[in-house]
């Protein structure tokens, strides 16, 4: 296996070519838009964007913050055929840090957060929006490393309470905040793409969900494919207000399975694809995936940032992955966010450039320049990949972090 070691700036780059293409055996999971972990991920990222918007508009820079430890604790509900309601609120634990002031001007952190939390649930789970208990666990403490001496105040003590944006180190140079890594690979195989599409068909806005008001969004899929046969376990909830009886629930479930088979015929190219829906259902005992809101967050389940889909929207244990929770991290210098996005984008570009499989790992060390990762590992299946072109693509992605920050703040990127 050819292996090239070189440097780009202060980064050590290793390029391996002629590696074996991943075999067909696939285990893949995807959590839908209403799954508690996805809700936590997307809410944390929304809070980061809202805070960033405010500080950019008022001070000209993204101030220090992170909301990537946010958690949701399920409420309680009562469900009946044709009816239902919330009996206890969903608890939103906003855990993290945020600069409360800049130059002596107060930042309305709690007001920003509460408005975004309520707007988010109003859009994603309207039935929950009036049943929320928001707890703020937000500090403005700097990370360790500030040693007090008689020579003045260490710079890092001002990062979460800057006198002006000139106190922000990243205005001069962007340094990695942590020793961590980002991972990406491309392309998806047909089954992985099918899993993504199938979950989105039932949990997002689609022709199916628009035509079936009873379809809830807390969808989860686990699939196994060996290249010839696919086995899928799928959970799709139903909303109790739109389901009048057990028989109607069963008919609705049959329509979900029919849609699964329809999409499989279009996407799986004749592969034997088998589905198991709502495996815990016991219809004769009225033990069903019947919910008031369409999500298990209504009744006891929890959601935590980083436990859901990876940055590419999938959970793929047979592919390279890492455990970083990207959502809610600071978009300026948090490598757990930026390196995962950059690695995925670089892998996609390398796949296109080499017409083969690509795998990328960007490894940081805390305090090193963000655009100079400590280690970069590129693995390609193409035996004849041109090293110079690969190096150029790597160098290109490393120049894009400022633009990536702007994209995260201005446009938003779906990270799970």
Least confident span in 24-33, 115-124, 133-142, 191-200? 133-142
Q: How many Å apart are CA 370 and CA 206, to the nearest integer?
A: 39
Least confident span in 127-131, 177-181, 412-416? 412-416
- Is the domain defined by 3-24+179-187+308-410 classed in CATH 3.30.300.280? yes
Tell me: pLDDT of 189 over 80.
yes
- Shortest CA distance to 292 belongs to which of 133, 130, 125, 132? 125
Residue-level pLDDT at 1: 77
Q: How many Å apart are CA 364 and CA 339, to the nearest integer?
A: 8
CATH architecture of 36-146: 2-Layer Sandwich (3.30)
Q: What are the residue ranges spanned by the domains of the chain?
A: 3-24+179-187+308-410, 36-146, 190-304
Q: How far apart are the first and last CA of the chain?
A: 34
Residue-level pLDDT at 358: 99
Query: 85-118 burial by CB neighbour count: b if 16+ within 10 A, else e?
Result: ebeebbbbbbbbbbbbebeeeebebeebbbebbb
Neighbour-count burial of 198, counting CB atoms closer than 10 A to its CB (0-12 exposed, 13-18 middle, 19+ buried): buried
Token pair recorded at residue 202? 């039932």
Question: Which bin fits 380, alpha (ψ -120 to 50), beta or left (φ > 0)?
Answer: beta
Residue-level pLDDT at 154: 59
Same fold, 3-24+179-187+308-410 and 190-304: yes
Least confident span in 148-162, 286-300, 392-406? 148-162
SS3 193: helix
Residue-level pLDDT at 49: 98
pLDDT digits over 143-171, tens only?
Answer: 765 555 555 555 667 888 999 999 999 99
Neighbouring residues of 116: CB distance < 8 A, sequence distance ≥ 6? 43, 46, 47, 50
As a three-state string, the secondary structure of 199-225 is HHHHHCCCHHHHHCCCECCCCEEEEEE
Residue-level pLDDT at 153: 58
CATH T-level topology, domain 190-304: GMP Synthetase; Chain A, domain 3 (3.30.300)
- For residue 347, report the phi and psi dihedrals to the nearest 5 degrees: -60, -40
Q: Strand pairing of 220-225 and 26-31?
A: antiparallel
Tell me: pLDDT of 310 over 80.
yes
Residue-level pLDDT at 142: 75
Helix residue spans in 355-400 (DSSP H): 387-398
Task: Give, to the nearest 10 degrees, the angle between helix 246-267 and helix 190-203.
Answer: 150
Q: How many Å apart are CA 218 and CA 236, to the nearest integer?
A: 7
Residue-level pLDDT at 5: 95
Percentage of the chain lying above the pLDDT 70 cut:
97
Show the beta-strand stretches assigned E in 292-383: 302-304, 358-363, 375-380
pLDDT digits over 375-389, tens only?
Answer: 999 999 999 999 999
**How many CB atoms are located within 10 Å of the residue 21 CB?**
10
Question: What integer is the mean pLDDT of 83-101?
Answer: 98
Query: 266-282 burial by CB neighbour count: b if 16+ within 10 A, else e?
Result: ebbeebebebebbeebe
Residue-level pLDDT at 141: 82
Q: How many Å apart are CA 115 and CA 78, to the nearest integer?
A: 27
Tell me: pLDDT of 44 over 90.
yes
Token pair recorded at residue 276? 């198991």
Signed CA dihedral, 214, 216, 220, 226: sign only: positive
Q: Strand pairing of 11-16 and 375-380?
A: parallel
Tokens 């001070």 sit at which residue? 59
Average pLDDT, the chain: 95
Model pTM? Answer: 0.96
Q: Strand pairing of 238-239 and 290-291?
A: parallel
Residue-level pLDDT at 414: 87
Token pair recorded at residue 389? 């072109």
């Amino acid at each position: 296996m050819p292996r090239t070691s070189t440097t780009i700036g202060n980064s050590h780059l290793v390029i391996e070519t002629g590696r074996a293409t991943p075999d067909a055996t696939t285990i893949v999971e995807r959590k839908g838009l209403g799954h508690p972990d996805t809700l936590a991920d997307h809410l944390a990222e929304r809070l980061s964007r809202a805070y960033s918007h405010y500080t950019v508009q008022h001070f000209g820079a993204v101030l220090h913050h992170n909301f990537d430890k946010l958690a949701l604790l399920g409420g309680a509900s009562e469900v009946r055929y044709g009816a239902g309601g919330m009996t206890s609120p969903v608890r939103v634990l906003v855990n993290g840090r945020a600069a409360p002031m800049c130059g002596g001007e107060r930042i309305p952190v709690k007001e920003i957060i509460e408005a975004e939390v309520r707007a988010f649930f109003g859009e994603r789970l309207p039935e929950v929006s009036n049943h929320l208990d928001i707890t703020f666990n937000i500090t403005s403490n700097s990370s360790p490393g500030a040693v007090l001496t008689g020579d003045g105040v260490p710079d890092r003590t001002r990062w979460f309470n800057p006198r002006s944006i000139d106190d922000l180190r990243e205005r001069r140079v962007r340094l990695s905040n942590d020793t961590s890594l980002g991972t990406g690979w491309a392309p998806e195989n047909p089954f992985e793409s099918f899993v993504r599409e199938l979950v989105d068909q039932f949990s997002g806005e689609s022709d199916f969900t628009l035509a079936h008001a009873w379809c809830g969004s807390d969808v989860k899929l686990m699939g196994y494919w060996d290249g010839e046969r696919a086995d899928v376990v799928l959970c799709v909830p139903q909303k109790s207000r739109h389901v009048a009886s057990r028989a109607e629930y069963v008919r609705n479930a049959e329509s979900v399975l029919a849609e699964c088979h329809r999409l499989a015929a279009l996407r799986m190219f004749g592969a034997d694809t088998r589905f198991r829906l709502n495996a815990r259902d016991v219809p004769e005992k009225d033990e069903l995936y019947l919910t008031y809101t369409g999500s298990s967050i209504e009744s006891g389940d929890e959601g935590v940032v980083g436990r859901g889909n990876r940055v590419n929207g999938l959970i793929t244990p047979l592919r390279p992955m890492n455990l970083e929770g990207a959502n809610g991290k600071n978009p300026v210098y948090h490598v757990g966010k930026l390196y995962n996005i950059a690695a995925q984008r670089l892998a996609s570009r390398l796949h296109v450039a080499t017409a083969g499989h690509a795998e990328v790992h960007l490894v940081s060390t805390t305090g090193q320049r963000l655009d100079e990762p400590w280690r970069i590992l590129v693995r390609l299946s193409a035996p004849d990949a041109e090293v110079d072109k690969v190096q150029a693509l790597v160098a290109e992605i490393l120049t894009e972090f400022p633009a990536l920050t702007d994209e995260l703040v201005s446009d938003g990127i779906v990270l799970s």
